[in-house]
């Protein structure tokens, strides 16, 4: 038996009571009324003292428990995010002030009331019901994997206009029984409105730039064509055309970013053989690589691998990555495009490695953010937009894949792209969209 248990206060008290009971029992064998009465009174006061002591402990424990419960209630009540707790029958048990403000419903109306989909026809409860049952909302996107807790869902409501992110967790007993659910609701409406305003500005600016840039590009192409042989005009016109090409690319990148953030960057998926697809892209980049004295090599574990992709979107990703690998490489450098499977997982990895200048560690975390460029490559190519990798990351993720990067200064960089071989891993919300 555990010695610490035997020496505990509770066991000492129990031993004392046992000793007193034994003492009283012995008194009954003594033929002396006074002694028996005195012993009985002594035993009674001992029991009373222990009962009083136990009562004090229970009262103190009850007070501490109530205090902690009140503390938790106050914390939940005044959280900035909406908190809703309900049981397995959708009877609401907790509904904090943020939830009241968000849905415009008083807690007195919903507490201890069962919520059901049919209540969505009630104007007052419609937004709340759409959040409790996301399939009823105008737009709902599940961000977490099915069956994985907590469940994270973004929900868009029309009346009132709300952009919400909900995190649903199970309330589980010590035995593992599910007794309810806790839903945390974050209101992203203001942030989304600010983002939309910025996107609208970029969209309008890019559209306004596109027409004059296109006209300028067309004019410069003609000047270059007609000035061939003119040693004075031709070099200037050719450089101007190069600048116009960069301006066109930046304009198109801005429009693509705008479409991505508005959810209009549509996709057309089909089953494609990845190997000849990549070989063609590598062949298309050969002339640029030769201009920079860089070689491109290709290796694959197989001659044929079918994946479910949008060829136009994905080719833009690989063209951008190979273009960067060429421009930021060293003279007589090398680029290796390798394709191999991921063991025990339904993914193919495409790695694009170069022997270039590398990326500083401080820049790696920000590399896929909008308008960010490595601090060392800005000096080599000052005219980049910093949008290519942001667009590439979004395209890869909408294919159900992932893009990673590793780099070492003056040793080179490797971009690794995971592409699912199982088409069910491609987000369905993207499959149904058509670009425009």
Q: Which of 54, 76, 98 is the last residue of a domain?
A: 76
CATH code, 132: 3.30.450.20
Q: Are residues 207 and 353 in the same domain?
A: no
Instruction: List Cβ<8 Å contacts ≥24 apart for 232-236.
Output: none
Q: Are residues 34 and 133 in the same domain?
A: no
233 has a pLDDT exceeding 60: yes
Assigned domain for 148 exists: yes
Q: Are residues 170 and 204 in the same domain?
A: no
- Residues 50-73 have pLDDT tens digits of 665 665 677 666 656 665 666 566
Residues 96, 76 contacting (CB under 8 angstroms): yes
Residue 145 DSSP symbol: P
Q: What is the mean pLDDT of residues 232-245?
A: 89
C-alpha distances in Å from residue 304, one per residue of 277, 307, 321, 340: 10, 10, 22, 11
Of the pLDDT bands very low, low, confident and very high (cuts 50, 70, 90), residue 324 is: very high
The C-alpha R_g of the chain, in whole angstroms, comes to 35
Q: Are residues 284 and 390 in the same domain?
A: yes
Q: Which of 32, 51, 76 is the last residue of a domain?
A: 76
Q: Which of 187, 210, 242 is the last residue of a domain?
A: 187
Of the pLDDT bands very low, low, confident and very high (cuts 50, 70, 90), residue 432 is: very low
Assigned domain for 40 exists: yes
88 has a pLDDT exceeding 90: yes
Query: CA-based angle 237:239:244, to the nearest 5?
Result: 90
Q: Are residues 392 and 328 in the same domain?
A: yes
Please state, in angstroms and rounded to a whole number, the distance separating the CA atoms of residues 195 and 308: 31
Enumerate residues 6+ apart whose C-beta is below 8 A from 83: 76, 94, 95, 96, 98, 99, 182, 183, 184, 185
- Residues 348-407 have pLDDT tens digits of 999 999 999 999 988 888 899 887 787 777 777 767 778 889 999 999 999 999 999 999
Assigned domain for 337 exists: yes
| Per-residue pLDDT, 374 | 78
Number of structural domains in the chain: 4
Alpha helices in 227-293 (DSSP H): 233-262, 274-284, 286-291
Task: Centre a 10 Å sphere on the Cβ of residue 335 and count the other Cβ atoms it contains.
Answer: 23
Q: Are residues 296 and 371 in the same domain?
A: yes
| Per-residue pLDDT, 32 | 54
Identify how many contiguous H helices and E strands the chain contains and give both numbers.
15, 13
Backbone angles phi, psi at 79, to 5 degrees: -65, 150
- Residues 141-184 have pLDDT tens digits of 888 888 889 999 999 999 889 999 999 999 998 888 999 999 99
Q: What is the mean pLDDT of residues 305-327?
A: 94
What DSSP letter does each residue of 338-371 carry, written as one string? EEEEPTTSSEEEEEEEE-S----HHHHTTTTSTT
Assigned domain for 39 exists: yes
Assigned domain for 256 exists: yes
Residues 286, 243 contacting (CB under 8 angstroms): no
Q: Are residues 234 and 125 in the same domain?
A: no
| Per-residue pLDDT, 333 | 94
Q: Are residues 44 and 137 in the same domain?
A: no
CATH code, 388: 3.30.565.10
256 has a pLDDT exceeding 90: no
Please state, in angstroms and rounded to a whole number, the distance separating the CA atoms of residues 416 and 406: 8
Q: Are residues 333 and 413 in the same domain?
A: yes
Q: Are residues 415 and 366 in the same domain?
A: yes
Assigned domain for 436 exists: no
Q: Where in the sequence is the domain holding 148, given as residue range(s)?
A: 80-187
Please state, in angstroms and rounded to a whole number, the distance separating the CA atoms of residues 87 and 45: 48
45 has a pLDDT exceeding 80: no
- Residues 103-125 have pLDDT tens digits of 999 999 999 999 999 999 999 99
Assigned domain for 9 exists: yes
Mean pLDDT, the chain, rounded, equals 84
Q: Are residues 322 and 424 in the same domain?
A: yes
Kindly report the pTM of this predicted structure: 0.57
Backbone angles phi, psi at 145, to 5 degrees: -70, 145
Residues 329, 335 contacting (CB under 8 angstroms): yes
Q: Are residues 398 and 353 in the same domain?
A: yes
């Amino acid at each position: 038996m555990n010695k610490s248990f035997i020496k505990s206060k509770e066991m000492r008290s129990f031993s004392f009571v046992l000793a007193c009971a034994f003492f009283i029992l012995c008194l009954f064998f003594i033929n002396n009324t006074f002694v028996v009465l005195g012993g009985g009174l002594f035993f009674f006061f001992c029991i009373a003292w222990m009962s009083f002591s136990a009562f004090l402990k229970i009262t103190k424990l009850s007070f501490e428990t109530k205090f902690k419960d009140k503390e938790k209630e106050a914390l939940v009540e005044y959280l900035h995010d909406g908190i809703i707790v309900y049981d397995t029958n959708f009877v609401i048990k907790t509904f904090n002030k943020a939830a009241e403000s968000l849905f415009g419903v008083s807690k007195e109306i919903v507490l201890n009331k069962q919520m059901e989909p049919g209540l969505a026809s009630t104007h007052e409860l419609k937004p709340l019901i759409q959040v409790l049952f996301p399939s009823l909302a105008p737009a709902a996107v599940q961000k977490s994997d099915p069956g994985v807790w907590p469940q994270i869902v973004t929900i868009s409501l029309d009346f009132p206009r709300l952009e919400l992110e909900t995190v649903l967790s199970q309330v589980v007993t010590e035995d593992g029984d599910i007794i309810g659910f806790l839903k945390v609701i974050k209101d992203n409406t203001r942030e989304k409105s600010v983002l939309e305003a910025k996107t609208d500005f970029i969209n309008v600016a890019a559209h306004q730039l596109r027409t004059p840039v296109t006209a300028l590009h067309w004019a410069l192409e003609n000047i270059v064509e007609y000035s061939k042989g003119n040693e004075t005009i031709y070099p200037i016109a050719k450089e101007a055309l190069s600048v116009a090409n960069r301006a066109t690319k930046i304009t198109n990148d801005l429009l693509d970013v705008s479409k991505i953030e508005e959810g209009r960057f549509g996709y057309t998926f089909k089953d494609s053989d990845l190997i000849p697809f990549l070989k063609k892209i590598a062949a298309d980049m050969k002339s640029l690589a030769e201009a920079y004295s860089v070689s491109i090599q290709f290796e694959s574990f197989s001659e044929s691998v079918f994946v479910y992709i949008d060829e136009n979107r994905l080719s833009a990703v690989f063209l951008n990555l190979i273009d960067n690998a060429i421009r930021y490489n060293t003279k007589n450098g090398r680029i290796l495009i390798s394709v191999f499977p991921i063991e025990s997982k339904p993914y193919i990895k495409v790695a694009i490695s170069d022997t270039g200048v590398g990326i500083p560690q401080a820049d790696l975390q920000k590399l896929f953010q909008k308008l960010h460029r490595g601090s060392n490559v800005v000096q080599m190519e000052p005219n980049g937009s910093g949008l290519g990798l942001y667009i590439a990351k979004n395209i890869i993720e909408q294919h159900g894949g992932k893009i990673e990067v590793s780099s070492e200064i003056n040793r080179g960089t490797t971009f690794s792209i995971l592409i699912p071989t199982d088409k069910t891993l491609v987000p369905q919300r993207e499959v149904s969209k058509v670009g425009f």
